[in-house]
Amino acid sequence: MLIYLDTCSIQRPFDDQSQLRTAMESEAVLRAIQLVEQGDLDLLASETLRIETEQNPHSRRRRFAFGVLAHATRFVETDSQIESRARQYETAGLHPFDALHLSSAVEAEADMFCTTDDQLLRRGSEAETEPTRVLTPIALIEEIES
């Protein structure tokens, strides 16, 4: 199974863990990363993930994200098809980087696109993303381990 973890998912373990939702999403992200490291899931990385990670001003978060991305079995470069689909997602209300993340996953035919961003989750779930399903890391782990 090919998954795409967007930047906010990868960074979730660094967020304030005092809220139950954040703590549960962090555990799910860490479990997904563990499954990738074990070879039970395939991770898709993208040029958009690389660029957004490079822009992170926090060195610890940046190192962690690049460590996760190093386990990717596939990498997708941004091309005209990805840009075109991203523009469609932007007209549906997605922010430019979010649209590029989702478009990269869809064009590479990832099975699942994981995000902890509520707006991206809602708008991405309403958009045409076949064959990619947009879901939270918690939903991903529930599905895989059930």
Distances (CA, A) of 37 to 33, 44, 60, 79: 6, 13, 20, 28
Provide the whole-model pTM: 0.96
Query: How many percent of the chain have pLDDT more than 90?
Result: 99
Q: Residue type for 33, please?
A: I
Query: How many percent of the chain have pLDDT more than 70?
Result: 100
At residue 146, the pLDDT reads 84
Q: pLDDT tens-digit profile of 37-48?
A: 999 999 999 999
